[in-house]
Amino acid sequence: MDTIKVSGIEFFAYHGVFESEKQIGQLFYIDCQYDLREIVDKDNIENTVSYADVTNEIVEYCTNNQFDLLESLVNNLTLHLLTTFAMIKSIEITVHKPNAPISTPFSDVSVTRKRMRNIAYLGLGSNLGDKKAYLDFACQNLMESSYINEIAISKYIETKPYGVLDQPNFMNAAAKIETIYDPYELLYFCKSVEEASGRERKRHWGERTLDIDILLFNNQVIFDEKLKIPHPEMHIRDFVLEPLKDIEPYLIHPIKGENVSELLYKLKANSNK
């Protein structure tokens, strides 16, 4: 990929916690570095992203919006730039505040945020009410999000319950998306869609109106209290692997080292023994 850097972008704005900062304002500086989706091999500005356009967009955004925290400014700015310039693959922004209200001598205060386009896979499920309508609702929210591009949705399949067996059959699907959310932001988005659907969940592993799980996120491995990626049980759940195979049969599991088709074949072979 081609990398473009613009350093020391200067603008006057009113970001800060203190009332004096909101009223008097001060100078800020931004360093910007971005990677393009594709290497530019033709000497034509239409094949790239003009650094002048990016610089102007940064200044316009930072002067037309106001934030208490530099962290909020840089986070929202990276989101804005990636939604504005589709050819940018990843971007890193550093905001400098050399005149911050600090009593001791210092040379600079800065905050850096890097954000990129990610490929994620989601598992969708429902076994209460109008199951198809709930899956449609989830897919519609994916399509309407400014920070998500839906790439593929699997066919819907009906599956038997897993874990707790005395409950209705499920309807399941999988989605492949491109998103500029990080994994935790995507988790929050999925939970917000579940809640917006009027989600009901009667018991653990039991009936639910809508479930949206993050199965994979790039090739990342995350294991903490809030989030576990890859989904810990995706490789032993046919209702996850079947829809995934429909959209990406050769997708490699980052821990198992086997693709979806292989995992599903082994799962079925073991269940038939």
Query: What CATH fold (topology level) applies to the domain 3-116?
Result: GTP Cyclohydrolase I, domain 2 (3.30.1130)
User: Is-catalytic flag, 199?
Assistant: yes
Distance CA 85, CA 206 (A): 43
Query: Has residue 97 got a pLDDT over 90?
Result: yes
Distance CA 254, CA 262 (A): 13
What is the largest distance, in Å, between two alpha-carbon atoms of the chain? 75
Q: Which CATH number fits domain 118-271: 3.30.930.10, 3.90.1150.10, 3.40.50.970, 3.30.70.560?
A: 3.30.70.560
Interaxial angle between packed helices 238-247 and 260-271, expressed in degrees from 0 to 180 and rounded to the nearest 10: 150
Q: Write out pLDDT tens, residues 140-191.
A: 999 999 999 989 999 999 988 776 666 788 899 999 999 999 999 999 999 9
> Percent of the chain, pLDDT > 90?
81
DSSP assignment of the chain, as one string? --EEEEEEEEEEE--SSSHHHHHH-EEEEEEEEEEESS---SS-GGGS--HHHHHHHHHHHHHH---S-HHHHHHHHHHHHHHH-TTEEEEEEEEE-TT---SS--S--EEEEEEE-EEEEEEEEE-SSSHHHHHHHHHHHHHH-TTEEEEEEPPPEEE---SS-SSPPEEEEEEEEEESS-HHHHHHHHHHHHHHTT--B-STTS-BS-EEEEEEETT--EESSS-EES-TTGGG-HHHHHHHHHH-TTPBPTTT--BHHHHHHHHHHHHT-
246 neighbors 235 (Cβ within 8 angstroms): no
161 neighbors 238 (Cβ within 8 angstroms): no
The one catalytic residue in 208, 224, 237, 238 is 208
Distance CA 53, CA 64 (A): 16
User: Is-catalytic flag, 37?
Assistant: no
Q: Please state, in angstroms and as integers, the Cα–Cα distance from residue 259 to each residue in 4, 120, 199, 201, 266, following that order.
A: 35, 15, 32, 31, 11
Q: Which residue carries 């959209």 as its tokens?
A: 247
Q: Which pLDDT band, with edges at 50, 70 and 90, does 210 fall under? A: very high
Distance CA 204, CA 52 (A): 53
Q: The tokens of 155 are what?
A: 């066919």
Query: Has residue 120 got a pLDDT over 80?
Result: yes
Query: Has residue 100 got a pLDDT over 80?
Result: yes
The one catalytic residue in 115, 117, 211, 237 is 211
Q: Which pLDDT band, with edges at 50, 70 and 90, does 272 fall under? A: confident
Residue 88's pLDDT is 95
Residue 10's pLDDT is 98
The one catalytic residue in 213, 224, 238, 246 is 213
Domain boundaries, the chain: 3-116, 118-271
Q: Which pLDDT band, with edges at 50, 70 and 90, does 205 fall under? A: low
The one catalytic residue in 199, 224, 238, 246 is 199
Say whether 118-271 and 3-116 share the same fold: no
> Is-above-0.85 flag for pTM?
yes
